[in-house]
Amino acid sequence: MAMKISTEKFNDRVEQGIHDSFMRGAVAGAQDGMGVKRRVVTTDELSNWEDWRNHAEEIRQHVLANLDYYLEQLSENIAQRGGHVFFAQTKEEANEYIRGVVQRKKAKKIVKSKSMVTEEISLNAMLEEEGCEVVETDLGEYILQLDDHDPPSHIVVPALHKNKEQIRDVFAQKIGYTKTSTPEELAYHARVTLREKFLEADLGITGCNFAVAETGSFCLVTNEGNADLVTALPKTQITVMGMERLVPTFEEMEVLVSMLTRSAVGQKLTSYITVLTGPREELDVDGPEEFHLVIVDNGRSDILGTEFQSILQCIRCGACINVCPVYRHIGGHSYGSIYPGPVGAVLSPLLGGYDDFKELPYASTLCGACTEVCPVKIPLHQLLHKHRQVIVEKEGKAPFSEKMLMKAFGLGAASPALYNMGSKMAPVAMNPFTVGDKISKGPGPLKAWTEIREFPAPNKERFRDWFKNREKGGE
């Protein structure tokens, strides 16, 4: 899977999303449920939640400002422990390096724990091309993989759009499942099936929540413990990380992990928080004999130093998605990117280009709900607004009619005389469309408005006229 998950037009995807009543029920339920849990462990429980956010933001900004330094430190520490580090500027480079490892190790069976960056670089496609059997071991990702590579619709809960009956059907069709749709039975079956895969695997691939520069460690946050098996059993391990996902020391890691779990799933901590350092050492009882860290740039360094830099602070908690009123109604697939919701609407055009993702910055009311919850204080709604400005001013991708309208706005609104004249004419101009005190079928930009709502007819006496008359004592 690449970052782009659909070739359909944005509006068609939205239509499908809106009409998928099951998905919408699931999303609304999840948003409401997670919203309550998140509030409990953030603002309710920590009276100084804002201080935590400030601190987390500071940590992320510090790392971005000193990224070179920390990446070097991380690489050195990993090398010292006998691990291999590869810095991939593009997704092709990342895939080529991993292909090399796979070939050298003659790996055929691969287990993976959840990783968005490997989706971004289409790693699985390359591995399958190599003839490997790749198994996603995060339950959500496993379900999607079985279901003919259905794309994820959320960065933390990838199968959010599926209900248990749908999951039962996928299991029945693909892995001979014969039991009921109770979550326990489904999970048990997946667990038994996956256990075999872990034992057989010759290569394990993980993502990385945070890498710790000072020690050359990396940290994985899960609720299922699958990442622990991916890293404990296979002889070779490859960890793939976005180049910005690191922290200076364990102290900062602890802060960010806490911010992540609280914001992502409303938990103080998740069931498993695993920190691993390099390959197996003499006295270790498990762990890989060979360890590779692939650090992926894939467009990230182009964002550094621009007005969009703060999006690299993101710790992929998904809180912004969980409060987004637009995501609520259209679901993840409508965004056409593996990164949906507000974070996706900011990130996808940066990493994937405006051609494919230019609609996303407009799929927001700029209500600011995302900005309010982001644990690392990314001004998401402002970044969406910046995208719009870039699309209009630099990319020239705005529709012609809109440009003309806005030009007229610039002239009209900037000139009190024109504004005065135009607004005085409004009731006359709108007269043909006005029935009683409302417009039900408006012209021009009002057409879309009146498709679903009434528009008020302009007042015959504008407020300003009333005020003027009153001043003259004419009320």
Partner 1 sequence: MKVTLFATCIVDLFQSNVGKATVELLERLGCEVEFPPSQVCCGQPAYNSGYVKEAKEAMKRMIETFEHAEYIVSPSGSCAFMFREYPHVFKGDPVWEPRAQKLADKTYELTQFIVEVLGIEDVGARFEGNVTYHTSCHMTRLLGVKEPPMILLKNVKGLKFTELPGKERCCGFGGTFSVKNVAISEQMVDEKVHHVEETGAQYLVGADAACLMNIGGRMERLGKPIKVLHIAEVLNSR
67 vs 430, which CB is nearer to ligand SF4?
Answer: 67
Q: Are 361 and 388 within 8 A, CB to CB?
A: yes
238 vs 369, which CB is nearer to ligand SF4?
Answer: 369
314 is in an annotated binding site: yes
| Residue of 78, 80, 133 lying closest to 102 (CA atoms) | 133
Which of partner 1, ligand SF4, none does residue 319 bind (CB under 5 to 8 Å by kind)?
Answer: ligand SF4
Three-state SS for 134? strand
Q: How far is the CB of 91 from partner 1 (least distance, A)?
A: 29
Q: How far is the CB of 367 from ligand SF4 (least distance, A)?
A: 14
The tokens for 310 are 């703060």
Q: How far is the CB of 294 from partner 1 (least distance, A)?
A: 37
219 is in an annotated binding site: no
Which of partner 1, ligand SF4, none does residue 454 bind (CB under 5 to 8 Å by kind)?
Answer: partner 1
Q: How far is the CB of 74 from ligand SF4 (least distance, A)?
A: 21
107 vs 247, which CB is nearer to ligand SF4?
Answer: 247
Name the residues that contact ligand SF4, by CB under 6 A.
263, 314-320, 343, 373-376, 378, 380
370 is in an annotated binding site: yes
**Tell me, what amino acid is at 259?**
M
367 is in an annotated binding site: yes
Which of ligand SF4, partner 1, none does residue 375 bind (CB under 5 to 8 Å by kind)?
Answer: ligand SF4
217 vs 322, which CB is nearer to ligand SF4?
Answer: 322
Which of ligand SF4, partner 1, none does residue 414 bind (CB under 5 to 8 Å by kind)?
Answer: partner 1
Q: How far is the CB of 323 from ligand SF4 (least distance, A)?
A: 9
Q: What is d(CA 189, CA 178) in angstroms, rounded to the nearest whole number?
A: 10
315 vs 338, which CB is nearer to ligand SF4?
Answer: 315
266 vs 318, which CB is nearer to ligand SF4?
Answer: 318
Q: What are the backbone dihedrals phi and psi of residue 246, each rounded to the nearest 5 degrees, phi first?
A: -135, 165
Q: How far is the CB of 318 from ligand SF4 (least distance, A)?
A: 5
Classify the C-alpha dihedral 129-130-135-136 as positive or negative. negative
Which of ligand SF4, partner 1, none does residue 34 bind (CB under 5 to 8 Å by kind)?
Answer: none
| Residue of 304, 322, 302, 309 lying closest to 57 (CA atoms) | 309
- Exposure on the CB side of residue 412, measured as CA atoms within 13 A: 14
Which of partner 1, ligand SF4, none does residue 316 bind (CB under 5 to 8 Å by kind)?
Answer: ligand SF4
DSSP output for 117-130: HHHHBTHHHHHHHT
187 vs 425, which CB is nearer to partner 1?
Answer: 425
Which of partner 1, ligand SF4, none does residue 200 bind (CB under 5 to 8 Å by kind)?
Answer: none
Distances in Å between the Cα of 309 and the Cα atoms of 253, 276, 305, 382 are 21, 29, 6, 12
21-39 vs 10-19: helix axis angle to the nearest 10? 80
The tokens for 74 are 């991380």
Q: What is d(CA 379, CA 368) in angstroms, rounded to the nearest whole number?
A: 8
Which of ligand SF4, partner 1, none does residue 398 bind (CB under 5 to 8 Å by kind)?
Answer: partner 1
H or E element in which residue 112 lies: strand 109-112
Long-range contacts of 389-392 (CB under 8 A, 24+ apart): 390/354, 391/354, 391/358, 391/361
Q: How far is the CB of 251 from partner 1 (least distance, A)?
A: 32
151 vs 318, which CB is nearer to ligand SF4?
Answer: 318
CB contact set of 153 (below 8 Å; sequence gap of 6+): 23, 159, 160, 161, 331, 332, 333, 340
30 vs 398, which CB is nearer to partner 1?
Answer: 398
Which of partner 1, ligand SF4, none does residue 54 bind (CB under 5 to 8 Å by kind)?
Answer: none
Find where tokens 């009882």 sit.
Answer: 285
Name the residues that contact partner 1, by CB under 8 A.
11, 14-15, 18, 325-326, 328-330, 362-369, 371-372, 385, 387-393, 398, 402, 406-407, 409-416, 419-420, 423, 426, 438, 440, 445-446, 448-449, 451-459, 461-464, 466-468
**Beta pairing, strands 246-247 & 210-212:** parallel
Q: What is the DSSP letter of 181?
A: -
Q: Are 118 and 97 within 8 A, CB to CB?
A: no
Q: What is d(CA 396, CA 390) in angstroms, rounded to the nearest whole number?
A: 8
Residues belonging to the binding site are: 314, 317, 320, 324, 367, 370, 374
Residues belonging to the binding site for [4Fe-4S] cluster are: 314, 317, 320, 324, 367, 370, 374
